[in-house]
A and B are shown apart, each in its own frame.
Chain A
Amino acid sequence: MLMQLSIAGISQGAIYALIALSLTVIYRSTTIVSFGHGDFVMAGAFLAYILVIGLGFAFLPAGLLAIAAMFAIGIVFSRGLIRPIRGGPHIGLALMSISFGFALRGIARLVWGREVLPMPRVFDVDPIFVGSIIITGDAIFTIGIVAVLLAAFFILLHLTDIGKMVQAVYQSERGARLIGIDVSRFHDFSWGTGAALGAVGGVLIAPVSFLHPDLGASFLIKGFAAMTLGGFGSLGGSVIGGLLLGLAEQYAGAYLNTALIDITAYLLIILVLLIRPRGLFGRKVVIKV
């Protein structure tokens, strides 16, 4: 029972980890929290859906195209909407991302109406039995893809010049500018990457859940919870936070009450911020007067 729950938790947590990671990528490089991120996830899922169901693409090219499209949308958003108000108050930046996401959701609703759309299963392979534990094809694929992506991402950040650039801008934007980094373009690129990573999450959930324009909101909160638990700005922390959240949801649902699955993330956010605001691996954030 515990093992079975843990596998479900990790499979779900892998998606949360991905979304938390995509939020962290944007936060670390631009110090902006992408409040419209849930809708990037939704848009990724919807684009994949249109390509598969509407245009008859196979799942893999459809997914890749959807992710590329979201990368472009992220860049356009950063370039056209964030850059002009970049120096302004945080509230404006937060609102810009909220309202952009809101408009995306409206577009999805305008096109699809109020239906809930199921997509045919993609990873339709027989589940594997390990002793008494059942591991579904979906779980294997989700965990596998996320693991590969995370590995690629960490190699990129820790072993390449791009990683050094990220670190430079994070430490001092001005310093990064002085040594010749085009910070504005770097920001655009980060938004693109964040949106694309969020879209990966959307593409992965598309075949295993029902699609509706509001699906982003809950993933946004879960991404936040994972980020908060892991520590804001910590890439590794966001991944671990995502996995822990996935597990916590499953355990709370099975051992306490199924209604708790929905609010595990909220409770976690409130508890972590009240007890240990920096999370597990974050830097100190508290402002004290």
Chain B
Amino acid sequence: MHTPAESRTAPRWIFWLLPILALAIPLATNPYTQFIINAMLIYTLVTLGFSVVIGNLGQLAFANTAFFGIGAYASAMAGNALGLPWLLTVPLAGLAGAAGGFLASAAALRGIRLYYLAIVTLAFGELMRWFYTHAGALTGGTDGLALDRGDIFGLQLNSDTVQFYIFLLLTTLLVAGTVNLLRSRLGRAIVAVRENEIATASLGIATSRIIVTAFVWSGFVVGIAGAMFALHTGRVFPESFGLTQLIINFAMVLVGGLGSVIGAVLGAVALTALPEYVRAFPGMEEIFFGVIVMVVLLVMPKGLASLLRRVSPIFHETHHRD
């Protein structure tokens, strides 16, 4: 069927130009800017995974930093304990994150919603952080776990440029995968659960399966981002996955636009670059993120993506009314 919405979003292949153009980025960067750009790719996935659960599925689940940490630690631990090369730890990190997503969805399936879900997932994240700190030999405690980056087909993985191309590939694949997921019947069911769960169930859709799928996909994407983060920083600490990380993730989702894939990219890029300037004083970063979230909530609740949608209809992502 050729709906108006379909024709508006027709030239979607244009978006494939973005990663292709991005291939040239390392030509124009110094190590520092390349490092930041790599972080943008990681945070794109973190934001995207988070947005699927809180934006598309509409669940108040705060376990995103838990998925991120689980992925990062899974990658570092598999590399250290099993001696796996980093690339092979990536799918492991994704699966570990997906398992975390499954656990979080179990809470949602128990009928725990809204604030209860927020609190129980917050506790889940803090519990994971306690585990990283106290599981000494396994996780390195508060000192964290150093990564032996190694190489891949002879290319040194501690090179920011090599990392960039790997991250670009992973991010592109996962973003495309998420777009396809959200555009499928399943994706519309995810949004339907957000809008009215009981009505969705009455249409014969197994809502519990939808909720589990969204959480597991979110955990998978964010878990892989965790493995990328471990490679990027070379060492994972418990403190990287605390409440500060959570609010940064929130700010990225919100600034970009809740439940929007384009928004996830925009939010991650904008907020990874900006705070570099406010890190000079202790506390400035927190004030910055706090104030940004408050301002966005008040004046632009649909985020940067909503501005783009005004510019051109090609940025419309949905086949339903917002």
Contacts and interface: CB of A to CB of B under 8 A. Distances in A.
B281 A110 contact: yes
B273 interface: no
Interface string B163-181: 0000000000000000000
A277 interface: yes
A289 B115 contact: no
B35 interface: no
B127 interface: yes
B100 to A, nearest CB: 14
A273 interface: yes
B123 A270 contact: yes
A203 to B, nearest CB: 22
A125 B62 CA distance: 44
Interface stretch (A84-92, A142-150, A165-173, A239-247): A84-92
A286 interface: yes
Contact of A287 (B113, B247, B285, B292): B113
A217 B125 CA distance: 13
A231 to B, nearest CB: 11
Interface in A94-116: 94-96, 98-111, 113-114
Contact of A88 (B60, B111, B301): B301
Contact of B115 (A84, A94, A266): A94
A99 B126 contact: no
B152 interface: no
Contact of B284 (A98, A110, A225, A269): A110
A95 B298 contact: no
B142 to A, nearest CB: 13
Contact of B282 (A104, A109, A285): A109
Interface string A179-215: 0000000000000000000000000000000000100
Interface in B113-134: 113-116, 118-120, 122-124, 126-127, 130, 134
Contact of B116 (A95, A232, A263): A232
B289 A99 contact: yes
Interface in B232-262: 243, 247, 250-251, 254, 258
Contacts of B120: 269-270, 273-274
A102 B281 contact: no
A25 to B, nearest CB: 15
B239 to A, nearest CB: 11
Contacts of B282: 109-110, 113-114
Interface string B192-214: 00000110010000011000000
Interface in B263-295: 281-294
B104 to A, nearest CB: 11
B243 A217 contact: yes
Nearest to B247: A102
A212 to B, nearest CB: 12
Contacts of B58: 89, 91
Interface residues on B, range: 35 or more
A18 interface: no
Given A85-B301, A110-B282, A266-B127, A103 B107 contact: no
Nearest to A104: B290
A273 B112 contact: yes
Contacts of B185: none
B123 A221 contact: yes
B308 interface: no
A221 B290 contact: no
A146 B204 CA distance: 52
B5 interface: no
Interface residues of A, number: 52
Given A103-B287, A270-B123, A286 B243 contact: no
A106 B126 contact: no
Contacts of A228: 116, 119
A110 B287 contact: yes
Nearest to A274: B110
Nearest to A278: B116
Interface string B293-305: 1100110010000
A90 B116 contact: no
A103 B298 CA distance: 16
A23 to B, nearest CB: 10
A110 B283 contact: yes
B123 A232 contact: no
Nearest to A265: B123
Contact of A94 (B60, B126, B243, B286): B60
B182 interface: no
B174 to A, nearest CB: 23
Given A100-B294, A289-B201, A106 B116 contact: no
Contacts of A105: 283, 286, 290
26 contacts: A33-B118, A33-B119, A89-B58, A91-B258, A92-B297, A95-B293, A99-B290, A99-B291, A101-B290, A102-B293, A103-B286, A107-B287, A109-B282, A109-B286, A217-B243, A221-B122, A224-B122, A259-B134, A263-B127, A273-B116, A273-B119, A274-B110, A277-B112, A285-B111, A287-B111, A289-B198
Given A99-B293, A289-B198, 6 more contacts: A88-B301, A228-B116, A263-B126, A263-B127, A273-B119, A285-B116
Interface of A: 33, 35, 81, 84-85, 88-92, 94-96, 98-111, 113-114, 213, 217, 221, 224-225, 228, 232, 259, 262-263, 265-267, 269-270, 273-274, 277, 285-289
Listed from nearest, the 7 A-B pairs whose CB atoms lie closest are A106-B286, A103-B290, A109-B283, A110-B283, A286-B111, A106-B287, A99-B293
